[in-house]
Amino acid sequence: MSRQDMLKRMKDEDVEYLDIRFTDPRGTLQHVTVCADQVDEDFLEDGFMFDGSSIAGWKSIEQSDMKLMPDPGSAYIDPFYAERTMAVHCTVLEPDTNERYGRDPRGTARNAEDYLRSTGIGDTAYFGPEAEFFLFDDVRFSVSMNKVSYHVDAQDGAWNSDTSFEMGNMGHRPGIKGGYFPVNPIDDAQDLRAEMLTTMKRMGMKVDKHHHEVGSCQHELGMIFGTLCHQADEMQKHKYVIQNVAHAYGKSATFMPKPISGDNGSGMHVNMSIWKDGKPLFAGDRYADLSDEALWYIGGILRHAKALNAFTNPTTNSYKRLIPGFEAPVLRAYSARNRSGCIRIPWAESPKAKRVEARFPDPAANPYLAFSALLMAGLDGIRNKINPGEAMDKDLYDLPPEELADIPTVCHSLREALGELEADMDFLTAGDVFSKDQIEGYMDLKWKEIYAYEHTPHPVEFKMYYSC
């Protein structure tokens, strides 16, 4: 939509409010709501001023003025508000220059798209994320000086096979690692997921499927791919719909990568392709019908994978998923169709569908930053013709120890990932897509999380060490 189209739709559909939305460095969607009668062409052209010092990781109090610039092409009707409200995603600008604010994640995504075009390698990058999530009926946690605890529960949890419920226990539920793909009544969330998908369709989102995932209480809804920044917008809407529909059903949805132990964690596999002049750049006659550019793109991601972890796996909890034994893609290897490496080339009949899938990201990632970082790593691979090495077409989970020792891995902790990012950030700052200031500000936020995590006693430590 143009600005005029957006204003016309607001008038035609009797919109009462405009919800202005933006994403902070950690990936949280933020908003402020404006009365519709305050929104005109001048408002959409001039933007909305706000206090950037109140957003963690952004400006200090003495230089806090910032501007939200609505993107009319991202506008949609919010289905969850009682009063008719249109929502729109914004890019954050510096008010004195109208340039993109260097720490704004959505601005970084725009920078990445601009940089791709400037290289001449391609003109469009497509991204297709597949984000998994968990649904619980009851969630409680506490962190204080003398108590650290959490409790999650769900009627369909594998641990409830012998629980006495007031209405009775029907016994039908997926077991541990048993959720892929039984029908109801074992899968009891069919209608809930369908409502999530239907809500997304009403909002204009392109979606294609839903199903129960491998883990107990774990699910996935499918989105159809789109361009980088647009798809990051869609990922934010995707999470928003899932959490709000679940809430309406009396359930809690979480994209936390590993909320329960002993079962699979949630990933966000990211499918990527580059096009130029309307033609797919990744289709060719090399391994798995890939082009040289696609193999070099893979080489770039494998080389920078540990630095990428800081954006694609940005929480301390992320590394409780990235451990062997739970289908976690911890090995820096690639293969056609084989799902045990961190890069997969999905099977495709058409050259137009030829793509590369990064399997190590998780849904806690800020999609604007994660997609941008993945693109920059891949472009670095193409520009420097980084050879990804030989493909690994065997099951990497069953390799003998002597072979396994020769395959590099992704990071084992967020602390390690930040150290790798600090040592390997030049590929991100090419073309001023990421700034050093932005990366350092992001790292400061993450170091605070690491400090809080590493300085807090854990219940498992009491179990292991209290009587030592």
Which residues are known catalytic residues? 51, 130, 132, 213, 220, 269, 339, 357, 359
Contact between 150 and 141 (Cβ < 8 Å): yes
Burial of 395 (0-12, 13-18, 19+ CB in 10 A): exposed
Task: Name the burial class of residue 80, with classes exposed (0-12), middle (13-18) and buried (19+) by CB atoms within 10 angstroms of its CB.
Answer: middle
- Residue 64 carries which side chain, given as an amino acid letter? S
For the purposes of burial, counting CB atoms within 10 Å of the CB of 177, is it exposed (0-12), middle (13-18) or buried (19 or more)? Answer: middle
CA-wise closest residue to 334 among 314, 355, 353, 318: 355
Q: Which two tokens stand for residue 363?
A: 């849904």
The answer to whether 176 and 164 have CB atoms below 8 angstroms apart is no
116, 125 contact by CB (below 8 A): yes
- Do residues 50 and 33 make contact, with C-beta atoms less than 8 angstroms apart? no
SS3 content of the chain, % helix, strand, coil (to 5): 40, 25, 40
Question: Residues comprising the binding site for ATP?
Answer: 208, 339, 352
Phi/psi of residue 382, nearest 5 degrees: -70, -45
Q: What is the dihedral of CA 362, 365, 371, 376, to 10 degrees?
A: -100
- Other Cβ atoms within 10 Å of 348 Cβ, number: 16
Q: How many residues would you count in the chain?
A: 468
What element of type H or E holds 412? none
| φ and ψ at residue 154, rounded to 5 degrees | -155, 140
- Residues annotated as binding site? 130, 132, 208, 213, 220, 264-265, 269, 321, 327, 339, 352, 357, 359
d(CA 258, CA 419): 23
Alpha helices in 189-343 (DSSP H): 190-202, 228-248, 292-303, 305-312, 318-321
